[in-house]
């Protein structure tokens, strides 16, 4: 029995769980939505797309340090992970940019273009499958627990 799901066993109603596994895709597609953004028509400024506050502080500290140039280079590269992107504004910027900028943004995966809702539909199917697998695992753990209890094993709560 997996440790993660062993704890979850106590929180599920077995019959409700079995029923939910057999729900069809249409049931879920109505209740699950992947975020799809519609541009607002305004091209935001650079500072509206990225917050550099933490990054700049780290770079300043790195530059003041006595470490080697090679270490400084590496630490500055690592500091880029502290840049905070605002993807809603990035999407607006993309929508109001030249095709060349748009291509470069796509190459950097700053935006994901969902042609014909392929991503949204794929996400829903994948998400449903993951839910079903998790629920089946919990049901399996319930059955194993019942078998152990039948053989005298006592669970502490």
Specify the higher pLDDT residue, 62 or 122: 62
pLDDT in tens, 47-79: 999 999 999 999 999 999 999 999 999 999 999
pLDDT, position 149: 83
H or E element in which residue 46 lies: helix 46-49
CA distance 130 to 81: 29
pLDDT surpasses 80 at 156: no
Rounded distance, CA 137 to CA 155, Å?
A: 19
Q: Look at residue 83 and tell me whether its pLDDT is greater than 50.
A: yes
User: Which of 47-51, 107-111, 140-144 ranks highest by mean pLDDT?
Assistant: 47-51
The rounded mean pLDDT for the chain is 79
Read off the pTM: 0.51
Q: What is the mean pLDDT of residues 115-129?
A: 63
φ, ψ of residue 84 in degrees (nearest 5)? -105, 115
Q: Is the pLDDT of residue 146 over 50?
A: yes
- How many angstroms separate the CA atoms of 25 and 103, rounded? 34
Q: Is the pLDDT of residue 24 over 50?
A: no
Q: Which residues pair with 111 in a beta bridge?
A: none
């Amino acid at each position: 029995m997996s440790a993660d799901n062993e704890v979850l066993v106590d929180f599920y109603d077995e019959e409700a769980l079995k029923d939910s596994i057999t729900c069809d895709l249409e049931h879920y597609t109505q209740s699950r939505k992947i975020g799809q953004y519609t541009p607002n028509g305004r091209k935001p400024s650079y500072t509206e797309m990225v917050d550099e506050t933490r990054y700049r502080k780290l770079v300043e500290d790195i530059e003041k340090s006595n470490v080697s140039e090679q270490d400084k280079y590496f630490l500055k590269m690592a500091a880029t992970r502290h840049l905070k992107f605002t993807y809603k504004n990035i999407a607006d910027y993309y929508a109001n940019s030249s095709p060349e900028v748009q291509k470069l943004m796509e190459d950097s995966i700053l935006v994901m273009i969902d042609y014909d809702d392929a991503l949204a539909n794929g996400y829903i199917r994948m998400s449903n499958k993951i839910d079903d697998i998790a629920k089946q695992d919990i049901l399996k753990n319930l059955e194993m627990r019942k078998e152990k209890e039948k053989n005298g094993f006592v669970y502490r709560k």
